[in-house]
Amino acid sequence: MVKKKSKVSQRKKVTPPTPHRSGVTPPKLDPKQIPNHVALVMDGNGRWAKQKGLPRTAGHEAGEATLLDIVHGAIEIGVKELSAYAFSTENWKRSPDEVRFLMEFNRQVLRKRRDEMNAMGVKIRWVGREKRLWTGVLKDLKEAQELTKNNKVLTLNMCVNYGGRAEMLDAAVAIAKDALRKKVKPDSLSEKSLKKYLYSPQMSDVDLFLRSSGEQRTSNFLMWQSAYAEMVFLDVLWPDADRRTLWKAIEIYAERERRFGKA
């Protein structure tokens, strides 16, 4: 008689995050003070490269290590969802060489890091517009998504070819088409039903919106999801940031009172 494997033995073994090279550990906060979802505007790559006399592309390459370290730090402190602004719908306005580099770079990062992310229990989810996105990049995003779909430690939303206004426009077009097909009644729409038309309906609301480089704007990122997010703008260029930057932002977040419109 063949014995059934226990649920414990069937459970995937997860690799813990690598400690920071300095040995620093996360600040001790009440779990209720930890944001569930952190949005990242990874700004300052170009300025970092310029300061060092390097091409802009070198800044993007350096920024990859920052994102990876922040993923490790997010797991350590207990964040459950990260959204990284990897390529916006406005980034198509950049030089053809930089656009080409960013497209290829996103592919390389996915190929190089997806197994490591998978081992740590990270679920990779693509969020963005399919139109104009390179076929190869879309293929790699979907493969990473499929590989990691059952992971539960942390969700990493890779926002590639994403724009908040584009998302709302695409949702409005989809709703209009469904209204014409009599699949939805416009008068019965609610925030809950509209959310189903967004790129990633399962995405939770953003609690902490973190932008590096000292710029104080949201740049069309997760406009719907960030309606009640706490904004933290830190004066550090993205390649110089690491998990300690995330933890500092979380400490600032923990000191704030969130009322959601209540007195």
pLDDT at 8: 45
Ligand-binding annotation for 83, yes or no, is no
- Mean model confidence pLDDT for the chain: 93
Give the C-alpha separation, 198 to 170, whole Å: 8
pLDDT at 244: 98
Ligand-binding annotation for 48, yes or no, is yes
pLDDT tens, residue by residue, 151-203: 999 999 999 999 999 999 999 999 999 999 999 999 999 999 999 999 999 99
pLDDT tens, residue by residue, 17-69: 999 999 999 999 999 999 999 999 999 999 999 999 999 999 999 999 999 99
pLDDT tens, residue by residue, 7-20: 444 567 999 999 99
Could you tell me the two tokens for 32? 């209720």
| This prediction's pTM | 0.93
pLDDT at 60: 93
The CATH class of the 38-162+204-255 domain is alpha beta
Which regions of 13-121 does DSSP assign to beta strands (E)?
A: 37-41, 81-88
Query: Which DSSP helix (H) or strand (E) runs through 102?
Result: helix 96-119
Ligand-binding annotation for 59, yes or no, is no
Give the C-alpha separation, 85 to 43, whole Å: 9
pLDDT at 4: 52
pLDDT at 9: 44
pLDDT tens, residue by residue, 115-131: 999 999 999 999 999 99
Ligand-binding annotation for 181, yes or no, is no
Ligand-binding annotation for 94, yes or no, is yes
Ligand-binding annotation for 143, yes or no, is no
Ligand-binding annotation for 247, yes or no, is no
pLDDT at 155: 98
Active site members: 43, 91
Point out the least confidently predicted range of 7-11, 80-84, 208-212, 257-261: 7-11
Residue type, 90: E
Return the closest-CA partner of residue 247 out of 34, 22, 23.
34
Measured at the CA of 230, the angle between CA 114 and CA 236, to 5 degrees, comes to 65
